[in-house]
């Protein structure tokens, strides 16, 4: 598997004398598998140069797969400038997480409307097929792709690509679920894993990879003022890579304010952190133009049958049916804030101001997910969650519960998960973050139901 970086910058293209070495273009990574399968990870401004290169260096038709993590500008701005899409005869499959409400094609067409861009999506000459993804695995050529939601204000996917016995993980636009800030160096062997279950699952997603390309926009000391912006401190990317036994880590999605010297310093900090752990982890900072070959010639390709719950990419997947969210909080301001954030997404909304009312509504009405405050008079959020998990009706017992709380200590998080909460969100949160979580858990719940239906 051959990897080439065409854009490594996060948030905003930043060309100039301060970014010459690591590059100023936004996210775009070319991956070529041994069988020739071409995969492009994200379509930021780096895609312009990649498109030129492909057109100049390959015989037509030029066909490939474009895996978009999410539709924030820095991941799609190169799309209207990616020349292979303009040439009749070329065929491209475009994948991105399924949203609720707007189709991928419409979102991409939005930035090509007449006010923004002179060529419309329909005028692209290539055959383009759109696939909207949920979590799971599917095959592209010889490459097994596994998709997993990242933690970002906007539903974003990370991708794990496996072929020929090697694994690459592309995990950008992600921040820790847990608010705890470890100041110690990377975890030594045997040190306990993070208490937030989603952070553990993130480590499992990275585990054993030959290369992880990871969001590393911030330094740990900058991070407290950047929490909820959806990006990782580089030092935590190191800790997760160490915990997952990753071989190589490429710091990625460089902050537009970080100069080449700044990236050098951050890289040095990360290398020291990795070395202090005593484990073999090579850390590099992704640079535009850099090429990395992953090969394991001695090991034959492991290519299993499709994983259970495989996300078969749908062509223009239908928007999921409306779901109902029950908001439980004694603070009317929070209820109002969440209502304003969720209403435009087309969700049905119910609310309750205390635990007993919440349980009564949950038992009587359709509710596909609960947003549940921990601290309330009467029954608190944990008691409500324990009561739900003890119900006979599987629809209640397994309903996703996202706990909202100001309690950020590790023991509180652990207590939340012990009570059966599905996810744990610490205040202050961004409404867009909560909306992304709601989408992720509803889509996960729907997949679980579909699997259960298929098993009957
Ligand atoms: Zn980004
Ligand atoms: Zn983003």
Q: What is the pLDDT of residues 109-140, one digit of tens each?
A: 888 888 888 888 888 899 999 999 999 999 99
Largest Cα span, the chain: 70
Q: What mean pLDDT do residues 145-153 have?
A: 96
The pTM (predicted TM-score) of the whole model is: 0.90
Cα-to-centroid distance, 295 and ligand 2 (Å): 30
pLDDT band (50, 70, 90) for residue 296: confident
Place of tokens 């098993």: 455
Ligand nearest to the CA of 230: 2
212 — phi, psi (to 5°)? Answer: -115, 125
Ligand nearest to the CA of 150: 2
Q: Contact, 438 vs 403, CB < 8 A?
A: no
Mean pLDDT of all residues in the chain? 90
CA 111/CA 405 separation, integer angstroms: 37
pLDDT for residue 74:
97
Tokens of 364: 């009587």
Q: 148 in helix, strand or coil?
A: strand
Buried b (16+ CB within 10 A) or exposed e, 234-244: bbbbbbbbbbb
Ligand nearest to the CA of 155: 2
Cα-to-centroid distance, 135 and ligand 2 (Å): 18
Instruction: Give the model confidence (pLDDT) of 47-66 as tens digits.
Output: 999 999 999 999 999 999 99
Q: What single string gives the DSSP state of each residue in 211-279?
A: EEEEE--B-TTTGGGTTTSS--BHHHHHHHHHHTT-SEEEEESB-TT--HHHHHHHHHHHHHHHHHTTS
Cα-to-centroid distance, 14 and ligand 1 (Å): 13
Give residues with Cβ within 8 angstroms of 117, minimum separation 6: 80, 111
Ligand nearest to the CA of 28: 1
Cα-to-centroid distance, 253 and ligand 1 (Å): 7
Poorest-pLDDT segment among 36-40, 90-94, 281-285, 451-455: 451-455
Per cent of the chain over pLDDT 70 is: 91
Count other Cβ atoms within 10 Å, centred on residue 44. Answer: 30
Cα-to-centroid distance, 83 and ligand 2 (Å): 24
Residue 313 in this model has a pLDDT that exceeds 90: no
């Amino acid at each position: 598997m051959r990897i080439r970086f065409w854009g490594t910058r996060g948030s905003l293209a930043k060309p100039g004398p301060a970014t010459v070495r690591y590059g100023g273009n936004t996210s775009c990574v070319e991956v070529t598998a041994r069988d020739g399968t071409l995969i492009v990870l994200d379509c930021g401004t780096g895609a312009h140069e990649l498109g030129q290169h492909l057109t100049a260096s390959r015989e037509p038709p030029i066909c490939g797969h474009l895996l978009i993590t999410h539709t924030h500008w820095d991941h799609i701005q190169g799309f209207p400038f990616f020349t292979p899409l303009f040439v009749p005869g070329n065929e491209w499959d475009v994948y991105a997480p399924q949203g609720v409400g707007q189709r991928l094609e419409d979102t991409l067409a939005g930035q090509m409307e007449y006010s923004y861009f002179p060529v419309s999506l329909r005028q692209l000459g290539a055959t383009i097929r759109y696939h909207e993804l949920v979590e799971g695995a599917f095959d592209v050529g010889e490459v097994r792709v596994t998709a997993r939601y990242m933690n970002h204000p906007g539903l974003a996917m990370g991708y794990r690509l496996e072929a020929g016995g090697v694994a690459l993980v592309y995990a950008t636009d992600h921040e820790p679920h847990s608010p705890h800030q470890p100041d110690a160096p990377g975890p030594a062997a045997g040190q306990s894993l993070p208490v937030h279950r989603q952070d553990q699952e993130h480590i499992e997603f990275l585990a054993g990879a030959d290369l992880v390309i990871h969001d590393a926009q911030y330094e740990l000391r900058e991070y407290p003022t950047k929490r909820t912006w959806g990006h990782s401190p580089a030092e935590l990317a190191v800790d997760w890579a160490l915990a997952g036994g990753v071989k190589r880590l490429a710091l990625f999605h460089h902050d537009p304010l970080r100069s080449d010297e700044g990236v050098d310093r951050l890289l040095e900090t990360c290398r020291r952190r990795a070395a202090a752990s005593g484990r073999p982890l090579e850390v590099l900072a992704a640079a535009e133009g850099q090429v990395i070959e992953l090969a394991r010639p001695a090991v034959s390709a492991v290519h299993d049958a499709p994983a259970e719950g495989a996300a078969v990419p749908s062509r223009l997947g239908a928007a999921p049916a409306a779901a109902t969210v029950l908001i439980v909080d004694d603070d009317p301001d929070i209820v109002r804030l969440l209502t304003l954030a969720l209403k435009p997404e087309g969700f049905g909304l119910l609310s309750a101001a205390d635990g007993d009312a919440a349980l009564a509504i949950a038992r009587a009405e359709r509710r596909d997910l609960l947003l549940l405050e921990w601290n309330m008079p009467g029954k608190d959020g944990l008691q409500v969650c324990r009561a739900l998990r003890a119900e006979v009706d599987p629809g209640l017992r397994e309903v996703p519960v996202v706990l909202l709380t100001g309690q950020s200590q590790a023991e509180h998080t652990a207590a939340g998960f012990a009570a059966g909460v599905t996810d744990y969100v610490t205040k202050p949160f961004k409404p867009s973050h909560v909306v992304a979580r709601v989408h992720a858990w509803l889509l996960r719940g729907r997949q679980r139901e579909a699997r259960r239906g298929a098993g009957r």
